[in-house]
Amino acid sequence: MRYNKIRKMDISNGPGVRVSLFVQGCTFNCKGCFNQETHDFNGGKEFTDDTVEHILKLCENDNVEGLSILGGEPLHPKNIEGTTKLAKTFKEKMPNKTLWIWTGYLFDRDLQGKEILNYADVIVDGQFVEELKNPTLEWRGSSNQRVINVREGIKNG
């Protein structure tokens, strides 16, 4: 897996102050994507165990409420193993901090049975659709996207 950037104090991608990881690589290529520089799987930097340790160290800050993982596409088959490893390690070390993940995949169609659901608190799902863009929406860019509480979503089927 590769990543584009890490923000150590992000207030745009989830509630409170967060650490945000922008994963490299996406095949959706949504028209109007705010992060097109993350689409190339060969771009960015290599995601290593040192990267995981760096992210966890940033998350230890008492002012940080949690970790946000965006892209690119963090749940693409080329990225999901690295994303899951980070998510698992994060939740084991910081169970009281929240993990948010943005994905173009659909929670109820594409993600059922994926290990990542054991660690994610919130998933914002669905591809960005420029024709449905709405800047007044919280945590999402277009009205087709959903902000899903993962525990509630699993419980409710």
Starting at the earlier edge strand, list the strands of the sheet with 98-102: 45-46, 2-10, 17-24, 64-70, 98-102, 122-125, 146-149
Contact 70, 83 (CB under 8 A): no
Average pLDDT, the chain: 96
Say if residue 157's pLDDT is above 70. Answer: no
Domains of the chain: 2-137 (3.20.20.70)
Q: What six digits make up the tokens of 35?
A: 């992060």
pLDDT digits (tens, 9 = 90+) for 48-64: 999 999 999 999 999 99
44/67 Cα distance (integer angstroms):
19
Say if residue 155's pLDDT is above 80. Answer: no
* Nearest-10 crossing angle of helices 80-93, 49-59: 40
Q: Look at residue 34 in the predicted model and tell me its pLDDT.
A: 86
pLDDT digits (tens, 9 = 90+) for 107-146: 999 999 999 999 999 999 999 999 999 999 999 999 999 9
Cis link prior to 72 (omega < 30° from 0)?
yes
DSSP bridge partners of 19: 67
Say if residue 153's pLDDT is above 80. Answer: no
